[in-house]
Structure 1
Amino acid sequence: MFNTKLPTLNELPTSRQLLRSTVTALGVAAALLVAVVMPSEYAVDPTGVGRVLGLTQMGELKETLAQEAAADAAAQPVAIPAVQAPALAQSAPQEQAVAAIAVETVAEPAPVLKSDELTVTLKPGEASEIKLEMLDKATVSYEWTTNGVPVNHDTHGEPYNGPNGYFHSYSKGQQVKGDKGEFTAIFDGTHGWFWRNRSNSDVTITLKTQGEYLSVKRVI
């Protein structure tokens, strides 16, 4: 039960007022349709108000996006079901064995042993040096003797591109008439013997080498 007071007959709108309100509403709706909806949705702007308000540009953008979407849909390729290729037949055992042999790495041949004999003669105060080019882990045996005059000697090695002045000494001695032995290179480089004659007589040194070296030469 409501306590709201019912309007009197005089307070109700007349038919003319209702008609005028209806016509006004239709006019406003038509104006909104022409000035707002048509420019923003369809880029149609008969009054020019939509472009001033930026609505026509919005509609043009929507139309462009719709056209691009339709073009993309038309350009989509038709999916074709993939056909699985038949599996290749397995190679016969004999063919597999031949392939394995073909890719097998050929082992490098063992280093060839070399042997040389060199002779140098030194005057009092002179020095000489004979070097072997050797790879890391290569081994050489040697023997050298003088004609009876003692000399100072140093058997050593120097790595390729090593620090300036760096060397590794295998053996050394002073006032000796000969030496023999064996050494193994600890790096790639030159390895050999240095002699100096500190006596007052000429001295002749004979060096014999045998082992895994690439070359031999007198440096000094």
Structure 2
Amino acid sequence: MSAPAASERPLPPAPSKAKLVISTLAALAVAGIVLVTVVLPAEYDIDPLGTGDALGLVVLSGPPGGEIPAREDGLIAHGSSYRTDTRTFALEPGGFVEYKYRLETGRAMIYSWTASGWVRSEMHSEADGAPAGTAEFFEVVEQTLFRHGSYLAPFPGIHGWYWLNEGTDTVTVTLHAAGFFSGSTEFREDAPAVEREIRETPEPGAFRAEF
């Protein structure tokens, strides 16, 4: 016996009014839950059940007036871009070099330097107005091949390193630094100090809007 044509097949019974009412009420209940637990806390800062705070949604709405509270720690804004600097120093046996960056109070830098042989390393700073020949020391290492770190200037002045080659072979020291310094000074034995200006990265005005 052949199957009846599609047009001859009986249609499924329509849902009863009771089922329609139950489905409608269930949909309204779900919408109400979403409204109370998600929409109101996120959009209107209304959190009657505390779910918005637990889910981190209250912050999306912000306080009245459109202002969002912000922490005052952890961020230091500057009016100019950071700068980068890379230097290589060749130290003959018994030779030394001092290299320091100009940093104002609260200005930071990160650094990484390596040496091809053992060197004595001193990280110290000379404060503006301090007596000649005085310095504040932050790290002294008798023999090392590298140092990596960050530094926050506690006072205005020049801040950096002294490297001494106490070996019998020439040593090369390579320094990479980035930060909010404005220049550098290099000191060597029996030679005048060399001051350098370090340009901003990117160039000044590169991202400043023109009106």
Scaled by the length of structure 1, what TM-score is found? 0.49
Displacement after TM superposition at 1:164 (Å) = 2.9
Cα distance in 1 for partners of 2:157, 2:106 equals: 11
Aligned with 1:156 (options 121, 124, 135): 124
Cα distance in 2 for partners of 1:184, 1:207 equals: 18
Aligned residues: 112
Contact 1:170–1:183 under 8 Å retained in 2: no
Give the 5 Å matches for 1:65-214. Answer: 110-147=79-116, 149-214=117-182
The gaps in structure 2 that reach 5 residues or longer are: 1-76, 189-211
Displacement after TM superposition at 1:217 (Å) = 3.1
What amino acid is aligned across from residue 168 of structure 1 in structure 2? Answer: E
Aligned with 1:219 (options 174, 187, 190): 187
Closer, same or farther: CA 120–166 of 1 in aligned 2, 3 Å: same
Looking at secondary structure, tell me which structure has more strand per residue. Answer: 2
Cα distance in 2 for partners of 1:168, 1:109 equals: 25
Cα distance in 2 for partners of 1:124, 1:116 equals: 26
Displacement after TM superposition at 1:218 (Å) = 1.7
Query: Rg bigger for which structure?
Result: 1
Cα distance in 2 for partners of 1:210, 1:118 equals: 12
State the SS of the aligned residue for 2:134. coil
Contact 1:153–1:193 under 8 Å retained in 2: yes
Cα distance in 2 for partners of 1:117, 1:174 equals: 24
State the SS of the aligned residue for 2:79. coil
Percent of pairs with identical residues? 27
State the SS of the aligned residue for 2:154. coil
Displacement after TM superposition at 1:219 (Å) = 2.0
Displacement after TM superposition at 1:162 (Å) = 0.8
Cα distance in 2 for partners of 1:109, 1:116 equals: 19
Which runs of at least 4 in structure 1 moved beyond 4 Å after TM superposition?
A: none
Displacement after TM superposition at 1:178 (Å) = 0.8
State the SS of the aligned residue for 2:131. coil
Cα distance in 1 for partners of 2:167, 2:179 equals: 32
Contact 1:120–1:205 under 8 Å retained in 2: yes
Cα distance in 1 for partners of 2:121, 2:146 equals: 9
What amino acid is aligned across from residue 156 of structure 2 in structure 1? Answer: D
What amino acid is aligned across from residue 187 of structure 1 in structure 2? Answer: F
Scaled by the length of structure 2, what TM-score is found? 0.51
1:132-183: CA deviations, max 9, x gaps?
A: 0110111111010012x10001011001121233211121201111111111
Displacement after TM superposition at 1:109 (Å) = 5.4
